[in-house]
């Protein structure tokens, strides 16, 4: 390379190289602010706070006391385990209940007819949890609508105790979360080619075999996405357990709520919060790992 | 089994009944609250005592209707403005994030993208307490060092907004990115070839293409904010949002005015869904 | 005339894969330069490097004597017409054409006059307000070209712009495009995999194969004197024969046909003969013409492109011969034998 050409080259690298970088900074700065200030730092603070207690001088010092409190007090870890177990159970129930409906809307009836039912599905989703939880409270109470009808027809003389039990809590949890299972399952079923089912049937497969060997494996990505969202919503829900659940149906989020807003022991609350976060991300991680799915698929 | 395969009548009928029961399960709480909003009774229960609009319009001490209850109106107002601000912020930042992750290459992109997705799987309660902890910490730090108390760092209107925005942006990002994946990159290159700068190309070509998704995402963010309680409950200050207000009423002082407001929400959402439905149907024809 | 574009030792790698390999060429101001190659050979990549959408791995792009290294697309004096046109669907015809001028911050009156002039030049006056999605294929094509030309680029890059059109329209647009280029005098660099487009329109053609340029030449030379076996096979139709050996001036094919040629080349491997180079029933006494007998197997009727499928008498070599559609040959039928001749310059060995 000649001297001149070399010089030219160095000149060019110092030229405003390209506008691509400007755009990158313009885009990345607001996103960084969002993620660092509202996601990363708060969760770091959660972690740090969970390892701190106030000593006698009013200073914050490192300690495992918050976690020890959790394991020592039976009610805490029992609630924790119960919350996890119920959340898994509700997720499974949500799948069992909604899958036939998702299948019906995508494969059994025509697209035009399905549109109306899909609209119906969306309304409770948009109305919000509080209103629907309140609706169940009105229905299930001792003086609620269901008991009123049961007694009016004479099936029972005394109201059945449904509200403030695990039963009403599970109804509430199911109701507010199951539609998040329907939507992703429907979108995978929509892309399932009818001729696969026809071919299987043509080859002599029974309904159950088709269901087990074709439909379920095909819709697995949608099921996993739905299950993750349902699980996350249920495990982190506060309203349904609090309003519909009884004194005995403690939910772990209620423990966190009490620590923060009733007893004002924020550090112990932080430890509980962190445990819940570990539980939910751990189970979601397992689900993703065993299904080989990516996190961003869950959102779509 | 599917449209084209024959079924026994028993199978078809059982299936239909099941789906029917499912939809009954779905609408029954909404119908129940709506009906009781018009019951001429001081209790949220049957029997039916006749039709009344008291729970909307009455202004007596005994029956304070929705439109006479200044606290309730105040919290509706708070929720609406909060939702508008949250939806706007989420839409702007979420769209920027979608553009960033779909169009740019940079170091640590994978990590940032992962972080942007985490609000999908972090329970709202956790987001709430984390933001409460860190903002209190920041507030205390500032107060100690500069002697000023900034309201933003205490449970307050603006803290609620930031809390809801922290996950709203993720949903917007996913919705906008889904449409961006269908975008023909050569349109942007064509704009560059026609001497647009990159920012101009995005502004004049990409954003108009994304408009339907952006509008949809704005609505989703608005509804997420309007109905949120899990995160809000930890961050709310002296002016409660509607869900917070309703929550404390449900727990401590239920009157059928709760049904009235619930009915209004159901009504608005249903009308909105119907309009959406017919617009869609029209554009499909 | 000076060179408006010079490409020096240009190489582009995607990871281990080399899409463009050591390409060199230059284009004269006002010229129509085509790059001809089969799908996937790297044509679009080369064009995108010139336009600035892809950084080159090695080498240099020089426009009007200035190196384009590090210059972003919007700062280069070139415009591109995309393979799939990339018209902005959210804008009407006028807005599409005016888009680039607005970015240059020209006055409204100037934009209006330039847009109007360009639209009338491509025959689209009256269509200003139309939605681009409502246009026919040919009209879209014109909008895409107008949108780029209105910018008065030094060089217009066109990436298979006629690829999406049907055959009839393509034939028509090809002529129109050539006339337009002559009229306005902008340098065109035109990518295509359709040799007829390249041959009809270009001043010069580069034949590209697996990222390399095989030959750069005028259309006539490319057709008459292909420098490599690939070019001979790629440009125009050819009969191809594998050679087993040569004896003196005699070429002997694998299937035992021998034909004389004053060969200057040592040990050629293949022989190409174009169907239209074969003379049916040659008159006696032509110099340098080899004659031999063939048997007609079948007649492949295709209008002006009709061919005879034949075998060379005494061998199993198959040979396609162009059949002029005049009354002289109307009587030919399958199984008939004929004498055919070929000028020794039309025997191409590699
Ligand atoms: N961004 C990229 N990353 C990796 N490989 C690429 C990229 N772009 C192009 N290639 C590869 O480079 C080769 C040349 O591609 P190019 O688009 O230039 O072909 P082309 O000649 O324009 O083909 P066509 O006629 O089909 O448009 C192809 O094998 C393609 O797979
Ligand atoms: Mg190409």
Does one domain contain both A13 and A105?
Answer: no
For B20-56, b/e burial (b = at least 16 CB within 10 A) is: eebeeebebbbebbbebbbbebeebbbeeeeebebbb
Q: Can you give the pLDDT at residue A298?
A: 67
What's the per-residue H, E or C state across A155-203? CCCCCCCCCCCHHHHHHHHHHHHCHHHHHHHHHHHHHCCHHHHHHHHHC
Q: At residue A1, does pLDDT exceed 60? A: no
Q: Give residue A196's pLDDT band: very low, low, confident or very high (50, 70, 90).
A: confident
Does one domain contain both A174 and A81?
Answer: yes
Q: At residue A101, does pLDDT exceed 90? A: yes
Does one domain contain both A80 and A156?
Answer: yes
What distance in Å separates residue B188's CA from the closest CA in chain C?
Answer: 9
Q: At residue C258, does pLDDT exceed 90? A: no
| Lowest pLDDT segment from A6-10, B242-246, C255-259 | A6-10
Residue A57 lies in a domain: no
Using left for φ > 0, alpha for ψ between -120 and 50, and beta otherwise, residue C298 falls in beta
Q: Give residue A3's pLDDT band: very low, low, confident or very high (50, 70, 90).
A: very low
**What SS3 class is residue C212?**
strand
Q: Can you give the pLDDT at residue A8?
A: 39
Q: Can you give the pLDDT at residue C36?
A: 93
C329 secondary structure, DSSP code = G
What distance in Å separates residue B62's CA from the closest CA in chain A?
Answer: 21
Mean pLDDT across A192-197: 82
| Lowest pLDDT segment from A151-160, C18-27, C148-157, C232-241 | A151-160
Q: Give residue A300's pLDDT band: very low, low, confident or very high (50, 70, 90).
A: low
| pTM, to two decimals | 0.81
Q: Give residue B79's pLDDT band: very low, low, confident or very high (50, 70, 90).
A: very high
Q: Can you give the pLDDT at residue A55?
A: 80
Nearest residue of chain B to residue C89 (CA atoms): B209
Distance of CA A123 to the CA centre of its chain: 19
Does one domain contain both A26 and A82?
Answer: no
The segment with the largest mean pLDDT, out of A28-42, C122-136, C286-300, is A28-42
Answer yes or no: do A127 and B265 touch at CB < 8 A: yes
Phi first, then psi: what are they for C337, rounded to 5°?
A: -110, 150
The Cβ of residue C214 has, within 10 Å, a number of other Cβ atoms equal to: 21
Share of chain A above pLDDT 90, in %: 31
**Regarding the domain with residue range C237-349, which homologous superfamily does it belong to in the CATH classification?**
Nucleic acid-binding proteins (2.40.50.140)
Supply the angle between the helices A129-140 and B207-227 in degrees, to the nearest 10.
40
Contact between residue A19 and residue C72 where contact means Cβ atoms under 8 Å apart = yes
Residue found under tokens 């995402």:
B217
Size of interface B-C (CB pairs under 8 A): 61
Supply the angle between the helices A129-140 and A166-177 in degrees, to the nearest 10.
140
In chain A, which residues have their Cβ closer than 8 Å to the Cβ of C70? 12-13, 15, 17-18
Long-range contacts of residues A75-83, Cβ cutoff 8 Å, at least 24 apart: A75/A250, A76/A255, A76/A272, A79/A250, A79/A251, A79/A252, A79/A254, A79/A255, A80/A252, A80/A275, A80/A276, A80/A279, A82/A250, A83/A235, A83/A251, A83/A252, A83/A253
Query: Which residue out of C54, C63, C68, C69 would a mutagenesis test of the A interface target, given it has the greatest number of A Cβ atoms within 10 Å?
Result: C69
Q: Give residue C264's pLDDT band: very low, low, confident or very high (50, 70, 90).
A: low
Distance (Å, whole) CA B62 – CA B96: 52
Contact between residue B186 and residue B141 where contact means Cβ atoms under 8 Å apart = no
C76 secondary structure, DSSP code = S
| Lowest pLDDT segment from A294-298, B54-58, C339-343 | A294-298
Residue A289 lies in a domain: yes
Which residues form ligand 1's pocket by a CB distance below 6 Å?
A: C 14, 17, 19, 37, 39-45, 193
Q: At residue B253, does pLDDT exceed 80? A: no
Q: At residue A19, does pLDDT exceed 80? A: no
Q: Can you give the pLDDT at residue C94?
A: 92
Q: At residue A46, does pLDDT exceed 80? A: yes
Q: Which ligand is nearest to the CA of C194?
A: 1
CA of C189 relative to ligand 2 center, distance in Å: 14
Question: What count of Cα atoms within 13 Å lies in the side-chain half-sphere of residue B188?
Answer: 21
A7 vs C194 pLDDT, higher one = C194
What distance in Å separates residue B58's CA from the closest CA in chain A?
Answer: 22
Q: At residue C164, does pLDDT exceed 90? A: no
Answer yes or no: do B133 and A270 touch at CB < 8 A: yes
Residues 6+ apart with CB under 8 A from C117: none
C260 vs A2 pLDDT, higher one = C260
Does one domain contain both A151 and A295?
Answer: yes
| Lowest pLDDT segment from A94-108, A189-203, C27-41 | A189-203
Question: What ipTM did this prediction achieve?
Answer: 0.87
Distance (Å, whole) CA C264 – CA C266: 7
Average pLDDT of the residues of chain B: 88
Reported as a single tens digit per residue, the pLDDT across B87-125 is 999 999 999 999 999 888 888 889 999 999 999 889 999
Distance (Å, whole) CA C191 – CA C194: 9
CA of C19 relative to ligand 2 center, distance in Å: 12
What distance in Å separates residue B192's CA from the closest CA in chain C?
Answer: 5
Reported as a single tens digit per residue, the pLDDT across B171-201 is 999 999 989 988 998 899 999 999 898 889 9
Write out residues 206-245 of B within 8 Å (CB-CB) of C. 208-209
- Residue whose Cα lies nearest atom 10 of ligand 1: it is C19
Distance (Å, whole) CA B274 – CA A119: 8
The Cβ of residue C324 has, within 10 Å, a number of other Cβ atoms equal to: 10
Question: Can you read off the two tokens belonging to residue A250?
Answer: 């403690």
Q: Can you give the pLDDT at residue B284?
A: 64
Does one domain contain both A39 and A103?
Answer: no
CA of B252 relative to ligand 1 center, distance in Å: 68
Q: At residue C161, does pLDDT exceed 70? A: yes
> Domain holding A282: CATH number?
1.10.3720.10
Handedness of CA A170, A174, A176, A177 (dihedral sign): positive
Average pLDDT of the residues of chain C: 88
Cα→Cα distances A49→A131, A195, B121, Å: 34, 57, 21
Does one domain contain both A30 and A95?
Answer: no
Q: Can you give the pLDDT at residue A15?
A: 34
Handedness of CA B241, B243, B248, B253 (dihedral sign): positive
Average pLDDT of the residues of chain A: 84
Does one domain contain both A74 and A138?
Answer: yes
Q: Can you give the pLDDT at residue A11?
A: 35
The boundaries of the domain holding residue A16 are: 3-50
Nearest to A241 by CA among A264, A265, A257, A263: A257
CA of C174 relative to ligand 2 center, distance in Å: 18
Q: At residue B139, does pLDDT exceed 80? A: yes
Q: At residue B7, does pLDDT exceed 80? A: no
Nearest to A261 by CA among A277, A236, A238: A238
Share of chain C above pLDDT 90, in %: 34
Q: At residue B256, does pLDDT exceed 70? A: yes
Does one domain contain both A202 and A275?
Answer: yes
Distance (Å, whole) CA C192 – CA C158: 9
Handedness of CA C300, C302, C303, C309 (dihedral sign): negative
Residue A55 lies in a domain: no
Does one domain contain both A120 and A232?
Answer: yes
Distance (Å, whole) CA C343 – CA C21: 37
Q: Structurally, how many domains does chain A consist of?
A: 2
Q: At residue C165, does pLDDT exceed 90? A: no
Contact between residue B138 and residue B153 where contact means Cβ atoms under 8 Å apart = yes
Q: Which domains does chain B have, with CATH numbers?
A: 1-68+254-285 (no CATH), 77-243 (1.10.3720.10)
| Lowest pLDDT segment from A71-85, B129-143, C22-36, C242-256 | C242-256
C163 secondary structure, DSSP code = T
The Cβ of residue A292 has, within 10 Å, a number of other Cβ atoms equal to: 9
Q: At residue A248, does pLDDT exceed 80? A: no
Indicate the top mutation candidate among C37, C40, C157 to test ligand 1's pocket, ranked by most ligand atoms within 8 A of CB: C40
Query: Which residue out of B1, B182, B196 would a mutagenesis test of the A interface target, given it has the greatest number of A Cβ atoms within 10 Å?
Result: B1
Distance (Å, whole) CA C205 – CA C32: 9
Answer yes or no: do A15 and C72 touch at CB < 8 A: no
How many residues are there in chain A?
Answer: 300
Distance (Å, whole) CA A128 – CA B266: 9
Phi first, then psi: what are they for C32, rounded to 5°?
A: -120, 105
Nearest to C228 by CA among C246, C244, C208: C208
Cα→Cα distances C199→A110, B28, C217, Å: 54, 74, 11
C3-233 belongs to which CATH class?
Answer: alpha beta
Q: Can you give the pLDDT at residue A5?
A: 41
Q: At residue A44, does pLDDT exceed 90? A: yes
| Lowest pLDDT segment from A214-218, B56-60, C51-55, C169-173 | B56-60
What's the per-residue H, E or C state across chain B? CCCCCCCCHHHHHHHHHHHHHHHHHHHHHHHHHHHHCCECCCCCCCCCCCECCHHHHCECCCCECHHHCHHHHHHHHHHHHHHHHHHHHHHHHHHHHHHHHHHCCCCCHHHHHHHHHHHHCCCHHHHHHHHHHHHHHHHHHHHHHHCCCCHHHCCCHHHHHHHHHHHHHHHHHHHHHHHHCCCCHHHHHHHHHCCCCHHHHHHHHHHHHHHHHHHHHHHHHHHHHHHCCCCHHHHCCCCCCHHHHHHHHHHHCCCCHHHHHHHHHHHHHHHHHHHHHHHHHHHHC
Q: Can you give the pLDDT at residue B205?
A: 93
Does one domain contain both A45 and A71?
Answer: no
Q: Can you give the pLDDT at residue A7?
A: 37
Mean pLDDT across A274-278: 92
Peptide bond into A278 cis (omega under 30): no
Share of chain A above pLDDT 70, in %: 92
Nearest to C36 by CA among C276, C225, C214: C214
Nearest to C101 by CA among C189, C92, C109, C84: C109
Does one domain contain both A114 and A185?
Answer: yes
Nearest residue of chain C to residue A9 (CA atoms): C69
Distance (Å, whole) CA C282 – CA B90: 82
Residue A163 lies in a domain: yes
C88 secondary structure, DSSP code = -
C332 secondary structure, DSSP code = -
* Positions of CATH 3.40.50.300 in chain C: 3-233
- Residue whose Cα lies nearest atom 2 of ligand 1: it is C14
Contact between residue C50 and residue C5 where contact means Cβ atoms under 8 Å apart = yes
Distance of CA B19 to the CA centre of its chain: 28
């Amino acid at each position: 390379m000649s001297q001149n050409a070399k010089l030219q080259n160095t000149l060019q690298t110092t030229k405003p190289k390209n506008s691509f970088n400007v755009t990158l900074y313009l885009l990345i700065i607001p996103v960084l602010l969002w993620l660092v200030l509202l996601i990363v730092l708060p969760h770091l603070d959660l972690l740090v706070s969970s390892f701190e207690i106030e000593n006698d001088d009013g200073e914050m010092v490192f300690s495992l006391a918050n976690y020890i409190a959790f394991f020592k007090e039976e009610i805490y870890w029992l609630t924790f385990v119960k919350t996890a177990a119920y959340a898994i159970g509700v997720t499974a129930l949500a799948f069992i209940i909604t899958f036939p409906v998702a299948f019906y809307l995508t494969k059994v009836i025509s697209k035009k007819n399905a549109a109306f039912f899909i609209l119906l599905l969306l309304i409770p989703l948009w109305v919000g949890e509080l209103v629907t939880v309140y609706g169940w409270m009105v229905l299930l109470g001792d003086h609620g609508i269901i008991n009123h009808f049961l007694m009016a027809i004479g099936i029972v003389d005394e109201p059945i105790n449904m509200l403030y039990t695990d039963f009403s809590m599970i109804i509430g949890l199911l109701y507010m979360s199951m539609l998040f299972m329907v939507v992703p399952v429907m979108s995978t079923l929509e892309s399932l080619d009818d001729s696969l089912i026809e071919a299987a049937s043509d080859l002599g497969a029974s309904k159950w075999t088709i269901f087990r060997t074709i439909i379920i494996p095909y819709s697995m990505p949608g099921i996993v996405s739905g299950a993750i969202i349902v699980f996350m919503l249920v495990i982190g829900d506060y309203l349904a357990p609090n309003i519909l659940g009884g004194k005995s149906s403690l939910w772990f989020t209620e423990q966190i709520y009490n620590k923060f807003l009733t007893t004002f022991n924020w550090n112990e609350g932080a430890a509980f919060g962190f445990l819940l976060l570990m539980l939910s991300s751990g189970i979601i991680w397992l689900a993703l790992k065993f299904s080989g799915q990516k996190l961003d698929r869950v959102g779509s | 089994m599917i449209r084209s395969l024959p079924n026994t009548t028993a199978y078809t009928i059982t299936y239909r009944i099941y789906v029917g029961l499912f939809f009954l399960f779905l609408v029954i709480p909404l119908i129940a609250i709506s009906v009781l909003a018009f019951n001429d009774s001081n209790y949220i229960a049957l029997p039916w005592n006749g039709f009344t609009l008291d729970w909307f319009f009455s202004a007596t001490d005994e029956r304070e209707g929705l439109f006479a209850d200044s606290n309730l109106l105040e919290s509706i107002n708070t929720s609406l403005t909060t939702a508008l601000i949250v939806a706007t912020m989420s839409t702007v930042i979420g769209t920027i994030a979608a553009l960033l992750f779909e169009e740019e290459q940079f170091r640590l992109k994978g990590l940032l993208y992962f972080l942007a997705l985490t609000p999908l799987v972090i329970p709202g309660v956790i987001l709430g307490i984390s933001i409460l902890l860190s903002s209190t910490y920041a507030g205390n730090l500032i107060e100690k060092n500069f002697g000023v108390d900034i309201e933003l760092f205490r449970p307050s209107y603006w803290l609620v907004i930031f809390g809801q925005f922290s996950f709203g942006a993720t949903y917007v990002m996913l919705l906008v990115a889904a449409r961006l994946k269908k975008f023909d990159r050569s349109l942007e290159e064509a704009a560059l070839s026609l001497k647009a700068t990159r920012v101009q190309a995005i502004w004049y070509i990409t954003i108009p293409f994304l408009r339907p998704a952006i509008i949809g995402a704005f609505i989703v963010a608005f509804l997420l904010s309007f109905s949120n309680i899990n995160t809000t409950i930890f961050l709310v200050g002296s002016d409660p949002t509607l869900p917070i207000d309703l929550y404390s009423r449900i727990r401590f002082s239920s009157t059928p005015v709760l049904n009235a407001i619930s009915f209004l929400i159901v009504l608005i959402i249903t009308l909105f869904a119907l309009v959406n439905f017919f617009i869609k149907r029209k554009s499909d024809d | 005339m000076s060179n408006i574009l010079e490409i020096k030792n240009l190489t582009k790698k995607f990871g281990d894969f080399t899409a463009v390999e050591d390409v060199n060429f230059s284009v004269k101001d006002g010229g129509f330069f085509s790059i001809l190659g089969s799908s996937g050979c790297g044509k679009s990549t080369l064009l995108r490097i010139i336009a600035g959408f892809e950084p080159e791995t090695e080498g240099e792009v020089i426009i009007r004597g200035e190196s384009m290294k590090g210059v972003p697309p919007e700062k280069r004096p070139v415009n591109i017409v995309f393979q799939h046109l990339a018209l902005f669907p959210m804008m009407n015809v006028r807005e599409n054409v005016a888009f680039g001028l607005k970015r240059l911050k020209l006055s409204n009156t100037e934009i209006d006059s330039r847009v109007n002039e360009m639209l009338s030049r491509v025959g689209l006056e009256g269509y200003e307000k139309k939605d681009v999605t409502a246009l026919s294929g040919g009209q879209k094509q014109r909008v895409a070209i107008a949108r780029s030309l209105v910018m008065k680029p030094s060089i217009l890059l066109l990436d298979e712009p006629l690829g999406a059109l049907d055959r009839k329209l393509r034939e028509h647009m090809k002529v129109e495009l050539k006339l337009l280029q002559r009229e306005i005098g902008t340098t065109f660099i035109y990518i295509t995999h359709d040799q007829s487009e390249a041959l009809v329109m270009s001043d010069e053609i580069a034949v590209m194969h697996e990222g390399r340029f095989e030959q750069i030449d005028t259309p006539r030379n490319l057709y008459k004197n292909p420098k490599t076996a690939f070019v001979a096979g790629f440009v125009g139709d050819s009969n191809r024969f594998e050679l087993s050996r040569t004896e003196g001036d005699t070429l002997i094919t694998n299937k035992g046909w021998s034909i004389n040629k004053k060969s200057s080349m040592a040990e050629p491997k293949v022989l190409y003969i174009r169907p239209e180079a074969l003379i049916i029933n040659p008159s006696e006494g032509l110099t340098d013409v080899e004659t031999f007998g063939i048997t007609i197997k079948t007649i492949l009727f295709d209008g002006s492109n009709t061919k005879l499928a034949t075998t060379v008498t005494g061998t199993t070599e198959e040979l396609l011969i162009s059949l002029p559609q005049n009354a002289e040959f109307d009587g030919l039928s399958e199984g008939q034998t004929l004498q055919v001749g070929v000028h020794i310059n039309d025997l191409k060995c590699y």
